[in-house]
Amino acid sequence: MPTASQVATHVPPADPAHPAVGAATSLLDGYRPGDRFLATPGRTLLASGTARPVPHDRRPLDERVTATLAEARASGQESPVVIGAVPFDHESPAALAVPAELRIAPPLASDPLIALPVGISGSANWRIRPVPAPEVYGAGVAAAVERMWRGEFSKVVLARTLELTSTEPLDLPAMLQRLARRDPVGYTFALPTGQGRTLIGASPELLVSRHGQQVVANPLAGSTPRSSDLAEDVRRAATLLESVKDLHEHAVVVDAVHQALAPHCAELTVPARPTLIRTATMWHLSTTVTGTLSSPDISALALACALHPTPAVCGTPTATARQVIAETEPFDRGFFTGVVGWGNAGGDGEWVVTIRCAEAEERTLRLYAGAGIVAASEPEAETAETAAKFRTFLSAVGAEL
C-alpha cells in the first residue's frame, strides 16, 4: 500500500467510455474497522493508521487543520490529506487526522463492479429501542410549533434515535457494503470517532466543496418518503415540488448558505427554484449553489465552518434553535448533523452533512434521524418522516421497525 506522500490528492473525472474496473470497489472491499473510508461523487478514499491527529485546542478548527497539514508536509509527506468527522457542537473535539497511508480511486459510481450483487449477511437478532419514544418526539414537535406561533423562532430541526443492540458482534464492512452499493452516487463513510467507536452512514447532502477557486454547495431541505409504487412515487415528488411548507423551509436554508458564502465569493449563482434529488428512501428539495472565490486563501474546511450548522440541521435563529434542541432532545447528537470529509494542504476538499448515519460501538448501533419543524408542521407527519429516514440504515443491517 502506498504512503500518503506517494498518493496524489486529485483524481481526474472518470471517463465513462473507459471506466476504472475494480479500482473503487477494491477500496470498498479493503475497508476494515479502524480504517477511514469516504466515497464521494468525485473520488473514493481509504486511509489507515494515523500520522498526525488534529489537536483539540482554542484555535479555530481550520487553523488547526492547516497547521497539522503543514507539519505533515514538513515531515516529508508530499501531498498530505486530512480526513474525518466534525461534531454538531463546535466546542466538542473533532475526529480528524492525517492518515499514515492513503489510497485514492475514482468514484464508486464509475466502477462497473459496484452493480454486481454480493452476498452480505446481516444480523437477524436486533433489539430496537427508540429514544425518545415516537409519541414523546411528537409531543416535542407540537411544543416547538406552539412556540413558533408565539413568535419565539421560525424553525428548529428535532431529531430522534433508535438504539439497536445485536446478539452478535457488529459487521461494519458488511454494513458499509450495503450502504455504498445501495446508493453509489452519494456520500458513504465509515470513520473512527473514538476508542472502539465508528461513525458510519450514507449522506445525500454536500455542505461545500472547493476545487481551486470553484465552490459548490448543495443544501437539501424539504423531504418526503418515497413509495414502491411508481405512480405514487411520482405523485409524491410532484407534490413536494409544489409544497408551500417545504418550499419555504428550503428557501430559508438556501438563503443562509447564500449569506455565508457571499463574503468569500467574487461570483455566486443561486438558482431561483429548487429541483429534486432522490435516495433509495426519500425525495429531497435540492439547490446547487456555485461560486468563484474572491481569494484562494480560504479552504474548503473554513467555508464548511462558516456554513455549519445550516438551518437544514439546526434551525433559525441558530442560537435559539440550538437551545430548543438542547431542551428537547434527550441525547447528545455527537457527530450527527456535523460534517465529514477530506481536505488537502492547498485548501481543496469536500465536506458533507452527517445525516443518514449511526454510531457503532461493540454490539450497539445508535441511528439518528431528524426533521425540520416549522409553524405548519404536524407531529404525525414529522414522526413519519424520521421513520422513513431511518430506513436507509435499517436496510443496511437487516433490521425493521
Q: What is the pLDDT of residue 393?
A: 86
> Is 155 one of the catalytic residues?
yes
Grid cell, residue 49, equals 493508521
**Tens digit of each residue's pLDDT (9 = 90 or more) over 103-113:** 999 999 999 99
Is the pLDDT at 343 greater than 90? The verdict is yes
Predicted TM-score of the model (pTM)? 0.92
Terminal-to-terminal C-alpha distance of the chain: 41
> Is 245 one of the catalytic residues?
no
- Name the pLDDT band for 396 (thresholds 50, 70, 90): confident
Is the pLDDT at 332 greater than 80? The verdict is yes
What is the arithmetic mean of pLDDT over 162-170? 92
* Beta carbons of 255 and 310 less than 8 angstroms apart: no
Q: Which residues contact 260 (CB under 8 A, 6 or more apart)?
A: 303, 306, 307, 310
Q: What is the pLDDT of residue 4?
A: 38
Q: What is the pLDDT of residue 10?
A: 38
Q: Name the average pLDDT for the chain.
A: 91
**Tens digit of each residue's pLDDT (9 = 90 or more) over 43-58:** 999 999 999 999 999 9
Q: Which residues contact 376 (CB under 8 A, 6 or more apart)?
A: 244, 245
**Tens digit of each residue's pLDDT (9 = 90 or more) over 61-81:** 999 999 999 999 999 998 999
Q: Which has more confidence, 10 or 242?
A: 242
- Name the pLDDT band for 400 (thresholds 50, 70, 90): confident
Active-site entry in 101, 205, 329, 359: 205
Grid cell, residue 236, equals 409524491
Active-site entry in 155, 382, 385, 389: 155
10 Å Cβ neighbour count for 198?
24
- Name the pLDDT band for 392 (thresholds 50, 70, 90): confident
What is the arithmetic mean of pLDDT over 12-19? 48
Grid cell, residue 290, equals 456555485
- Name the pLDDT band for 31 (thresholds 50, 70, 90): very high
Q: Which residues contact 370 (CB under 8 A, 6 or more apart)?
A: 157, 158, 159, 160, 313, 336, 337, 355, 386, 389
Q: What is the pLDDT of residue 52?
A: 96
- Name the pLDDT band for 274 (thresholds 50, 70, 90): very high
Alpha helix (H) ranges present in 183-337? Answer: 230-242, 244-261, 300-307, 318-328
